[in-house]
Structure 1
């Protein structure tokens, strides 16, 4: 036998009296739902991190251009990899910030904006997770390659 409250809930006829009988459910549900706004300072902090990435990119680019004549081919390649890393990390931060805010905090309400990213129209938690994973997989080899330099004694002499 089903209880009257269960039957009413299944039919969509839940009265406020029945829903209030669950001790503290309404308070905890509202508290958990409202706690999503605690992520806003974190997403705002990612804006600062993206500014740091832009500064680091410009500083590395300036260093590459200023030392182009005295740098060997390996140093130039490592500098280019460094620039690509910074760009990919900034893209990852953008994806986390915009996609995470849109998925977990609130709608951005930018549907009519001409610069709205196309991928944002179908972003949700599983899609965001796959995109982030693919970005991390793309960033990881270039970071590892910078740390795996071959010692001079092991290089072929020409």
Structure 2
């Protein structure tokens, strides 16, 4: 009986994560405000801007969009993986991937998004290389390479772990 009560308590504690996801929704709204501010600045200065400034403006908007997408991935996948399933039947435009991403897929999507955001930061620095110190540019490239390397290592370890599970299945289960 004590074990059952403890297990119910521990299982119910997953709801403590829900406020974190609400906080991420608020962060997404703040990011939207920043994106609208950047868009306004971009549009009002587009005709007088140099080509490189226009490209930097577009890259900033892409960066903010990827960051927003990353937040959405964390909100929905994290909520569904750790708190509760969302009933998709009531939502006609429910994206196909939602509800199908396991923790491994979530890690890979997160790291892929971080690598893309990092790549945009490096590209922005290269587009504005005359205003970026060699030290800062070097660190941006090093950090980006660390993210890329981490992604490759994470993908390889997940593939190796997945291969171990496939090897444990009988040949008939693998379609032979």
TM-score range, shorter chain: 0.7 to 0.9
- Tell me the SS of whatever aligns to 1:120: coil
Q: Any stretches of 5+ residues in structure 2 without a counterpart?
A: 132-176
Q: Distance in 2 between matches of 1:62 and 1:127?
A: 35
Q: Distance in 2 between matches of 1:109 and 1:122?
A: 13
Aligned with 1:46 (options 24, 41, 47): 24
* Matched positions, count: 131
- Please tell me whether Structure 1 or Structure 2 has the larger radius of gyration of its CA atoms: 1
Q: In the alignment, which residue of structure 2 is the partner of 1:150?
A: 129
Q: In the alignment, which residue of structure 1 is the partner of 2:96?
A: 118
Aligned with 2:42 (options 60, 64, 67): 64
Over the aligned positions, Cα root-mean-square deviation in angstroms equals 1.9
The answer to whether 1:98 aligns with 2:76 is yes
Q: Any stretches of 5+ residues in structure 1 without a counterpart?
A: 1-19, 153-158
- Tell me the SS of whatever aligns to 1:92: helix
Q: Distance in 2 between matches of 1:94 and 1:58?
A: 18
1:23-73 Cα shifts (integer Å, max 9, x gaps): x53343222211110110110011111111111111111111101122111
Task: Tell me the CA shift for residue 150 of structure 1.
Answer: 1.8
Contact 2:14-2:82 at 8 Å conserved across structures: yes
Task: Tell me the CA shift for residue 89 of structure 1.
Answer: 0.5
Q: In the alignment, which residue of structure 2 is the partner of 1:9?
A: none
Contact 2:56-2:124 at 8 Å conserved across structures: yes
1:101-121 Cα shifts (integer Å, max 9, x gaps): 011100111234211010014
TM-score norm. by structure 2 comes to: 0.68
The answer to whether 1:87 aligns with 2:65 is yes
Contact 2:39-2:61 at 8 Å conserved across structures: yes
Task: Flag the structure with higher helix content.
Answer: 2
TM-score norm. by structure 1 comes to: 0.75
Distance 1:109 1:33, change over 3 A: same
Task: Give every structure 1 segment of 4 or more consecutive aligned residues whose post-TM-superposition deviation is greater than 6 Å.
Answer: none
Q: Distance in 2 between matches of 1:29 and 1:121?
A: 25
